[in-house]
Amino acid sequence: MKTALITGVSGQDGSYLAELLLDKGYDVHGLVRRTSVDRKEHIEHLLDRECFHIHYGDMMDPLGLVDVIHSIEPDEIYNLAAQSHVAVSFSVPEYTAQTDALGTLRILEAVRILGLEKRCRIYQASTSELFGKVEEVPQSERTPFHPYSPYAVAKQYGYWIVREYREAYGMFACNGILFNHESERRGESFVTRKITLAAGRIACGLQEKLYLGNLDSRRDWGYAKDYVECMWLMLQQNEPDDFVIATGVQHTVREFTQLAFHCNGIELDWQGSGQDEKGIDRASGKVLVEVSPAFYRPTDVVDLLGDPTKAKTKLGWNPQHTTYERLVELMAVHDRKLAERERILLKQG
């Protein structure tokens, strides 16, 4: 039985990866932060499983990380813990660097200091945000980086320190350069989930309007459940390597919004441009979507489209497993149910 440690196990990807590894027969250990309000809803259903174990720890606490890794001696570490919100990284740049950049170094150093560098394989959650102010479209493993937020700069350190430890100490450490991936478990302030939650609530009469930032921003959105499989595949290769994981299909925030509302029976017409653009309900003429500069970023990444050829060829991965249309539908249906439940609870007082 293989043993894996997942940092960030309570997050979107961590919870799906834990399910995948448990299904494969792994002994799975997850690192969680202690919080005053319990935030384990994505892994609640795993807590009773015999092969699933929780350890308290924080990416800011190197000794704690050494202690956890020492007690587990994992075969594989998936380093997913991060301050993962790009917009928030402008508000807490130093914390983001501590967690996302130095946190990665702390994992690598813990493995090295404990003498596990020849047996423990490491996956690092790198990101398409590294391409930032993009220098070419689509982006592949050969595209130069141009990070465009404190988050992306911190992740760039993570990317390079992984490569450095691979070359300096012969560690099996890989970067997964993952493009945006979403799901019913996506954090509520990321744009896709914000949209599907709002579309469901508006359709149920629980919310008047949705306020968004840059509607023209383009993303290559995939399904998180498909993407965690690539993390595992990367660590099963003969040699460590870095991979772009993407669908190769791109849509704007406006198109995502249109489809999410369509899934709720609402057809939107768009009028105006820039800050004055509005999404109007064709049936009632009501303005349901407006632009608020509060959601603009000091620097915004606007043209992400990945080229997954290497992952398709070397990992044998199918990037179109869950299509964009199916992804939006999955999220919209899930969040419509949440809104309907909320409406019933409100009626019951």
Q: Tell me the C-alpha distance between 10 and 12, whole Å.
A: 7
With CB cut-offs between 5 and 8 Å by kind, which of ligand G4F, ligand NAP, none does residue 39 bind? ligand NAP
Which of ligand NAP, ligand G4F, none does residue 58 bind (CB under 5 to 8 Å by kind)?
ligand NAP
Candidates 12-20, 67-75, 194-202, 268-276: pick the segment binding ligand NAP (CB under 6 A). 12-20
Structure tokens at 45: 């259903």
Nearest CA to 32 out of 2, 4, 53, 50 is that of 53
- In the list 179, 223, 243, 324, the residue contacting ligand G4F (rule: CB under 6 A) is 179
Burial of 274 (0-12, 13-18, 19+ CB in 10 A): exposed
Question: Tokens 């350069």 identify what position?
Answer: 177
Closest residue by Cα to residue 123 from 315, 334, 321: 315
Contact residue for ligand G4F among 75, 206, 295, 321 (CB under 6 A): 295
End-to-end CA distance of the chain: 50
Residues 186-225 that bind ligand G4F (CB under 6 A): 189-192, 194, 212-214, 217, 219
Residue 293 CA neighbour count, 13 Å, CB half? 4
Q: Which does 271 bind (CB under 5 to 8 A by kind): ligand G4F, ligand NAP, none?
A: none
Structure tokens given for 214: 């840059």
Helix (H) or strand (E) holding 33: none
Q: Of 55-63, 142-150, 202-210, 308-316, which part binds ligand NAP (CB under 6 A)? A: 55-63
Among 83, 96, 139, 217, binds ligand NAP (CB under 6 A): 83
Q: Judged by CB under 6 A, which of 69, 178, 198, 301 binds ligand NAP?
A: 178
**219 interacts with ligand NAP by CB under 6 A:** no
The reply on whether position 77 binds ligand NAP by CB under 6 A is no
Using CA atoms, how far residue 141 sits from 92, 136, 222, in Å, is: 29, 12, 18
State the DSSP string of 87-102: HHHHHSHHHHIIIIII
Q: How far is the CB of 7 from ligand G4F (least distance, A)?
A: 14
Q: Which of ligand G4F, ligand NAP, none binds 196 (CB below 5-8 Å, type-dependent)?
A: none
Q: Residue 177's beta-bridge partner residues?
A: 126, 244
**Residue 284 binds which entry of ligand G4F, ligand NAP, none, with Cβ cut-offs from 5 to 8 Å by kind?**
none
Q: Which residue has the tokens 């359709």?
A: 203
Indicate which residues carry an active-site annotation: 127, 129, 151
C-beta separation of 110 from 66 below 8 A: yes
Q: What is the binding site for ligand G4F (CB under 6 A)?
A: 84, 86-87, 127-129, 179-180, 189-192, 194, 212-214, 217, 219, 253, 295, 297, 300-302, 304
Q: What is the binding site for ligand NAP (CB under 6 A)?
A: 7-8, 10-14, 33, 35, 39, 58-60, 80-84, 99, 125, 127, 178, 180-181, 187
